[in-house]
Amino acid sequence: MTAKASSDGLMEEIVGLCKRRGFIFPSSEIYGGYNGFYDYGPLGVELRNNIKQAWWRDMVQRRDDIEGLDSTIIMHPDIWKASGHVDGFSDPMVDCRESKLRYRADQLFFAPVIVAGETIGYVSVVECPEQQEIAEKAAADIKRKAAKQGTLEPIVLKDYTESKPEEYDLVPSPATGKPGSLTAPREFKLMFETKVGPLADESAVAYLRPETAQGIFANYKNIVDTGRVKIPFGIAQIGKAFRNEITPRNFIFRSREFEQMEIEYFISPSADWKTLHREWIDTCIDWLVSIGLPREDISEDIHPEDKLAFYSRATTDLMFQFPHGEQELWGVACRGDYDLMQHQKHSGKSMTIFDEASKEKFVPHVIEPSLGVDRTLLAVLTAAYTQDEVPNDKGVAEKRLVLKFSPKIAPVKAAIFPLLKNKPELVERAQALYKKLQRRWNVFYDASGAIGRRYRRQDEIGTPFGITIDFDTIEKDGTVTLRDRDTCEQRRVTEDELIQFLEEQIDG
């Protein structure tokens, strides 16, 4: 029997497991934590690196049309003027004057409570999967308290960016439950500022990049001039990005310091961009499935044409079933030539490319698949987190917690156990195998406790394979026992078979 924890409790359980087993810690925890920042512990950093390596291998090294890049986090401030971030990269916020809490206006929902055609109050709720239910319950309470007879009209929630000035004083603050303390929505700049150089004036202002993409656009000419790229081609980058999010939340889903894996894929302005966009969406879905996300938990959110940014031709977000609901994981946008044109205008450098195939010169258009490392890690943890029942050493069914990571990204690939720790011949043989495997993969050696308990410890951190050295290994044919984490099935294999199997499963 296999079960996921209820979606309510699942996030809490994942956060707890991550802390307990050394995947993820709140940043600066000894000082009480720091909202929106997280540190990755020994297992977290392995998982994170494996995700990035898998992406780099599949998107860059195994493709002929994509080149890699690693640009700086702090770049010339004019880049952010050209890209539009200095003027436009902001989120609408609303403050509660009484509680001093700040909300993202597009995540704060409100509705009038109308009974028999008369508005008798307002309800508000912070965005969550149960928001409609919560709002309806609050509306029924208002009606009851007002002792108002008549039919309660359906509660139609709108986000606070759609509020009218006359409603600001009527909508209750979610913090206090009382109206009168919410401000009008205001734009809040998301870029972190810093100062570069000895001057402390405005001329020294620089920004921590809020996306890696602009580093790609700023280097596009270098790669065209020095590489052997031809249209269509892509430039890929993995790196840190920083956003002063108003409401960082849901663990590592929305944080203030995170990492992105982005590609700018440059195409001819006359290319069939709709087909290429579709191909990229499919490539992205296939990749997510290849690292272990269930296909049925991934869906597409196509942005309606009237909601697109003026420079965007189309955007499809790949959505994933996170513990807190279905949310964006990977954005695949067709950005036209907006960014390159802006940089051409602001830098004065030509962004045209000569296309040998068509003998034409043009500024290419781009398709941009943009994925967060941390969000992918949360998706992977969500998909892997499983509670099931398996027989213990005595054959009695026992509950277990298991992370069913794909062997490709699992932090520890295999655990090596001598059956008994007080038998030097078993220990020696197990150590020798451990040292051999350690040269290729991140493996773990464990000699302490009953074998069943050792298996459980590895199940909980998602180690896909358990290898036990027993008396048959040293006295008979040299075979070892190979245990599969998910099925708990065991079989005997020779060392050569073991290595070939691990190669196929981990590196394949």
Which among 163-171, 220-228, 370-378, 461-469 is the span making contact with ligand GAP, rule CB under 6 A? Answer: 370-378
262 lies in the binding site for ligand GAP (CB under 6 A): yes
Retrieve residue 2's tokens. 């296999």
Retrieve residue 419's tokens. 């059956």
Nearest distance from C-beta of residue 191 to ligand GAP, angstroms: 12
DSSP 411: S
Report CA-CA distances (Å) from 62 to 57, 59, 67, 263.
6, 6, 11, 14
Query: Residue 424 contacts by C-beta under 8 Å, 6 or more apart in sequence?
Result: none
Nearer to ligand GAP, 168 or 192 (CB): 192
Binding mask 329-358 for ligand GAP (x = CB under 6 A): xxx---------------------------
What separation, in Å, do the N-terminal and C-terminal C-alpha atoms of the chain show? Answer: 29
364 lies in the binding site for ligand GAP (CB under 6 A): no
Report CA-CA distances (Å) from 348 to 212, 250, 351.
22, 43, 9
Tell me how many helices (H) and strands (E) the chain has: 13, 27
Which among 152-160, 269-277, 326-334, 488-496 is the span making contact with ligand GAP, rule CB under 6 A? Answer: 326-334
Which among 124-132, 147-155, 369-377, 417-425 is the span making contact with ligand GAP, rule CB under 6 A? Answer: 369-377
For the CA atoms of 264, 267, 269, 273, what is the dihedral angle to 10 degrees? -90
CA atoms 131, 134, 140, 145: torsion sign:
negative
Total residues in contact with ligand GAP, by rule CB under 6 A: 19
Query: Residue 379 contacts by C-beta under 8 Å, 6 or more apart in sequence?
Result: 288, 293, 320, 322, 329
- Contact pick of 237, 370, 458, 463 for ligand GAP (by CB under 6 A): 370
Nearest distance from C-beta of residue 258 to ligand GAP, angstroms: 4
Nearer to ligand GAP, 308 or 499 (CB): 308
Nearest distance from C-beta of residue 41 to ligand GAP, angstroms: 18
213 lies in the binding site for ligand GAP (CB under 6 A): yes
Q: Helical H runs in 89-157?
A: 131-145
Query: Residue 479 contacts by C-beta under 8 Å, 6 or more apart in sequence?
Result: 472, 473, 492, 493, 494
- Contact pick of 260, 268, 463, 473 for ligand GAP (by CB under 6 A): 260
Max Cα distance, the chain (Å): 87
Retrieve residue 219's tokens. 């280097």
412 lies in the binding site for ligand GAP (CB under 6 A): no
Which among 134-142, 251-259, 293-301, 446-454 is the span making contact with ligand GAP, rule CB under 6 A? Answer: 251-259
Nearest distance from C-beta of residue 307 to ligand GAP, angstroms: 14
Question: Residue 368: what residue type?
Answer: E
Binding mask 371-410 for ligand GAP (x = CB under 6 A): xx-xx-----------------------------------
254 lies in the binding site for ligand GAP (CB under 6 A): yes
Report the residue closest to ligand GAP, judged by CB.
372
* Site residues, ligand GAP (CB under 6 A): 211, 213, 243, 245, 254-255, 258, 260, 262, 328-331, 368, 370-372, 374-375
